[in-house]
Amino acid sequence: MILVTGGAGFIGSNFVLDWIAQSDEALINLDKLTYAGNLENLASLKNHPHHIFVQGDIADRNLVSQLLEQYQPRAVINFAAESHVDRSIHGPADFIQTNVLGTFNLLESVREYWQSLDDAKRLQFRFLHVSTDEVYGSLQAHEPAFTEQHMYQPNSPYAATKASSDHLVRAWHHTYQLPVLTTNCSNNYGPFHFPEKLIPLMIINALAGKPLPIYGDGQQIRDWLYVKDHCSAIRTVLAQGKVGETYNIGGCNEQANIEVVKMICSILDELQPRADGRSYQTQISFVADRPGHDKRYAIDASKIRHDLAWLPKETFASGLEKTIRWYLAHPDWIEHVTSGSYRDWIKQHYQNESGV
């Protein structure tokens, strides 16, 4: 049994689906169901005996302690976070609450549980904290990619709160010997990505005939990784990672935003041409830049490659096409997310299940 937090979000739900498909081990999924949590992502697991969903907050020590006591997981994987940079600029308070205080409370509940285990289980237990490359700040064009030794220089409220959570996790290992692992990953894309983020927003706006808003000059660079590759890296770190270590995860896929949007347009031009025969690129619109916009992120993933033999499966071209095909095949999911009706899913489909 493992406990996953934030398993109804973008990466968490991909992780949960892959885990259940590939393992016989049951999973408790603790998620607060903020705007970013969508149980519709997990509709295929309804009534699955290996998926126990509990709506709740990582900061709720009583609830977390009760779950740990009841299910005795061998590992906790912490995906739960406020994760959207633009939202953190407009309202940082929720980010402090979940990413800093929530992680602190989760660590304390987990520490208490871990200390109560017998020697064999204590030795086997792992707390895996899922973090981001944004804690390292921004790179200039000529600078080498982020290694695990790179100084923490977070620039947005989101990145600062994730950096803070990483420090707490590190300290809980150093001070209390909690067996932690931390992963810092680059930008993910793929199925179930909430359409406030660049790639899904562009796909959905393009199909809806709306403008494709590019911040500033569109020359900012992100290092994109297909979400299923991130999930496989997390499984690898959980199974083989060395306690107390940090692993950078990335796909060696640096792309300028404008190029990403042009690629999306070209794939859509092929798969679902506009009625007037013109390219979706005609919908591109340059808008005001994000305040404090980080110029470039790039991950040096050589440690996980050398030490744990992990490699991504998708190239950016193959992953992006898969992603676009997924959105084209799921108009209902898009409609429910854009109309907000996904928030009713829990009432309609999970009313009688425990914990909800």
134 flagged as catalytic: yes
Q: Look at residue 127 and give the partner it binds from ligand TYD, ligand NAD, none, a contact being a CB closer than 5 to 8 Å depending on partner kind.
A: none
Of 104 and 215, the one with the shorter C-beta distance to ligand TYD is 215
| Of 133, 166, 294, 300, catalytic | 133
337 binds ligand NAD (CB under 6 A): no
31 flagged as catalytic: no
Q: Which of 3, 32, 51, 205 binds ligand NAD (CB under 6 A)?
A: 32
Q: Look at residue 213 and give the partner it binds from ligand NAD, ligand TYD, none, a contact being a CB closer than 5 to 8 Å depending on partner kind.
A: ligand TYD
Q: Look at residue 257 and give the partner it binds from ligand NAD, ligand TYD, none, a contact being a CB closer than 5 to 8 Å depending on partner kind.
A: ligand TYD
What HEC string does the chain produce?
CEEEECCCCHHHHHHHHHHHHHCCCCEEEEECCCCCCCHHHHHHHCCCCCEEEEECCCCCHHHHHHHHHHHCCCEEEECCCCCCHHHHHHCCHHHHHHHHHHHHHHHHHHHHHHHHCCHHHHHHCEEEEEEEHHHHCCCCCCCCCECCCCCCCCCCHHHHHHHHHHHHHHHHHHHHCCCEEEEEECCEECCCCCCCCHHHHHHHHHHCCCCEEEECCCCCEEECEEHHHHHHHHHHHHHHCCCCCEEEECCCCEEEHHHHHHHHHHHHHHHCCCCCCCCHHHHEEEECCCCCCCCECCECCHHHHHHHCCCCCCCHHHHHHHHHHHHHHCHHHHHHHHHCHHHHHHHHHHCCCCCC
Q: Look at residue 109 and give the partner it binds from ligand NAD, ligand TYD, none, a contact being a CB closer than 5 to 8 Å depending on partner kind.
A: none
Minimum CB–partner distance for residue 282 and ligand NAD (Å): 28
Question: Hey, which residues between 71 and 90 contact ligand NAD (CB under 6 A)?
Answer: 79-83
Question: Hey, which residues between 145 and 164 contact ligand NAD (CB under 6 A)?
Answer: 162
228 binds ligand NAD (CB under 6 A): no
Of 80 and 265, the one with the shorter C-beta distance to ligand NAD is 80
Q: Look at residue 20 and give the partner it binds from ligand NAD, ligand TYD, none, a contact being a CB closer than 5 to 8 Å depending on partner kind.
A: none
270 flagged as catalytic: no
Q: Look at residue 200 and give the partner it binds from ligand TYD, ligand NAD, none, a contact being a CB closer than 5 to 8 Å depending on partner kind.
A: none
185 binds ligand NAD (CB under 6 A): yes
Q: Which string of b and e fits 313-347 if b means at least 16 CB within 10 Å?
A: ebebeebbbebbebbeeeeebbebbeeeebbebbe
Question: Would you say 141 and 128 are in contact if contact means Cβ atoms under 8 Å apart?
Answer: no
| Of 31, 40, 82, 134, catalytic | 134
Residue ranges that bind ligand TYD, judged by CB under 6 A: 85-86, 187, 197-198, 201, 213-215, 220, 222, 257, 290
Which of these segments, 34-42, 166-174, 238-246, 340-348, binds ligand NAD (CB under 6 A)?
34-42
**Contact residues: ligand NAD, CB under 6 A:** 5-6, 8-12, 30-34, 36-37, 57-59, 79-83, 98, 102, 130-132, 162, 185, 187-188, 194
As annotated, the active-site residues are 133-134, 158
